[in-house]
Structure 1
Amino acid sequence: MIKENLLTVKKNIYEAAKKRQPDMDESVKLIAVTKNHSVEEMQEAIDAGAQYIGENRVQEAMEKYALLNRNVKWHLIGHLQTNKVKHAVKIFNFIESVDSIKLADIIDKEAAKINKLQNILVQVNLVKETSKTGIYLEDLQPLLQDIDRLKHLKLGGLMFIAPNLDDLEKVRPMFKRMYKLFKEVQQMHFSNADIKYLSMGMTHDYKIAIEEGANIVRVGTAIFGPRQY
């Protein structure tokens, strides 16, 4: 079932990407979100063509990383606690949820210890949802500039989690705003960044996110079915 679901999601991504504006890159990375799913399910998805795994919690990722036995890229998409940074930089190719200079500093220091250039995205809290982490718009530019001075971080772009609304058309303007912001950040001068990625969209809204410019989407339930708690 996972294989069939993965093929359906990839088809939906392809169809959504065809609806993009002409200035948008059509390539989209699919992050298979594996929170609360087993190593066996992860292996099945990877064997069926999943190239990127997304985990929300470092501890769960560490346990799976030791058992997975597959060549795959790991993305941390959940909030990163400072006391878990040391473990996160050992596992994750991308940390998508950086939202403060304090966190960025600690990631930089831990990456330096293992001589790693850690890829990161900055999470934006566009509508100031108190239930979500992420940097507010007015604080974004200073954070990006501070990150650019850190030698063991490579800023790759932005991440956004939209509100979970029943009327998906209400989130479309937010995705549009994030794409505009993404293009604005691409025009900023950085010495140590390569702004290529806009990560937004999950199972319920990834098609709209892609139509509006996302080139990373984070999909779990549509691939693996409901989480087993």
Structure 2
Amino acid sequence: YRYVPATVSLVAVSKTVPVERVAEAVAAGQRLFGENYLQEAEEKISRLEQLLAQAGPGAAQAAASPAPAWHFIGHLQSNKSKAAAGRFAMVETVDRLKLAKSLARHAAAAGRVLPVLVQVNVGGEEQKSGVAPAAVADLLRALAELPALRVMGFMTMPPFAVDPEQSRPHFARLRQLAEECARQGLLGRHGPPLLSMGMSADFEVAIEEGANLVRVGTAIFGPR
């Protein structure tokens, strides 16, 4: 396939998964995890750090070198942005300027530049978060004025479909949108754009359409 990226990173979606099982994934070599709920994530991250420390210096170093990194992949309220900006390696669900400004303010206060993805609602579903494709360029221009944020690419969740092939046009649309924005100089300033798309049921199709981040939970941890 023409658009298969050279490398793909696996985000193990660990929402509702007991921390002990996350520790098993870390021991098996997984380093990137995604959480949807802020309070659960904060508790889990702290507890995982304790578990790794209790394993002893040698075991902890072997199990967590490099240390696990966490992406926030759920809907984020602006009033929770301080915790998110301080705790996560990336926020994948920036879909409005108010949230972006809040994240930028708290990231700057913490002395860091926060990598983010813009969540795009490619399916136009009213019940889902995400900026409309037609509004992406304007949002990117506004985000470029926030030096404490580093826009790395896009994230999407297509409409639910039993057949993964039904998701393909939505994945292709996100890739095309990223290419359009890159041509306009709005995306790609920090390397090839990241495209976070694809989950347990359709990640293979997503990769064929250019995904270089896939968010997989059930296929790793089992049904919730």
TM (norm. structure 1) is 0.87
1:94-105 equivalences in 2 (<5 Å) = 94-105=90-101
Residues 151-160 or 187-196, more deviating: 187-196
Q: Tell me if 1:122 matches 2:118.
A: yes
| DSSP 3-state at the match of 1:182 | helix
**Match in the other structure for 1:112:** 108
Q: What is the distance in 1 between the residues matched to 2:186 and 2:127? A: 31
Aligned to 1:168: 164
Q: Please, which runs of 5 or more residues in structure 1 have no aligned partner? A: 1-19
CA distance in structure 2 between the partners assigned to 1:191 and 1:99 by the alignment: 15
Deviations 1:196-225 (A, max 9, x none): 200000011111101111000000000000
Within the candidate set 45, 65, 73, 1:65 is matched to 45
> Which of the numbers 41, 48, 54 marks the counterpart of 2:21?
41
Matched, 1:75 2:71: yes
Tell whether the 8 Å contact from 1:160 to 1:200 is kept in structure 2 after alignment.
yes
Q: What do residues 148-184 of structure 1 show as CA deviations (whole Å, max 9, x unaligned)?
A: 1101000000001011111221111111111111112
When structure 1 is superposed on structure 2, of 108-117 and 160-169 the one drifting more is: 160-169
Give the distance between the partners of 2:188 and 2:167, measured in 1 at CA: 32
For the residues of structure 2 that align with 1:198 and 1:191, how far apart are their CA atoms?
12
2:212 aligned with 1:210, yes or no? no
**How far apart are the structure 2 equivalents of 1:191 and 1:215?**
15
What does 1:136-151 correspond to in 2, within 5 Å?
A: 136-151=132-147
TM-score normalised to structure 2 length = 0.88
Matched, 1:85 2:81: yes
Question: Deviation of residue 111 (structure 1)?
Answer: 0.5
CA contact (8 A) 2:97 2:143 kept: yes
Question: Residues 154 and 192 of structure 1 are in contact (CA less than 8 Å); yes or no, is this contact kept in structure 2?
Answer: no
Report the residue type matching 2:195 in the other structure.
Answer: L
Contact 2:153 2:187 in 1 (8 A): no
CA distance in 2, matches of 1:211, 1:58: 31
Q: State whether residues 149 and 192 of structure 1, in contact with CA within 8 Å, keep that contact through their aligned partners in structure 2.
A: no
Separation (CA, whole Å) in 2 of partners of 1:28 and 1:63: 28
- Alignment partners' CA distance in 1, 2:195 and 2:208: 12
Measured on the aligned residues, the alpha-carbon RMSD in Å equals 1.5
CA contact (8 A) 2:178 2:187 kept: no
Gaps of 5+ in 2: 50-63
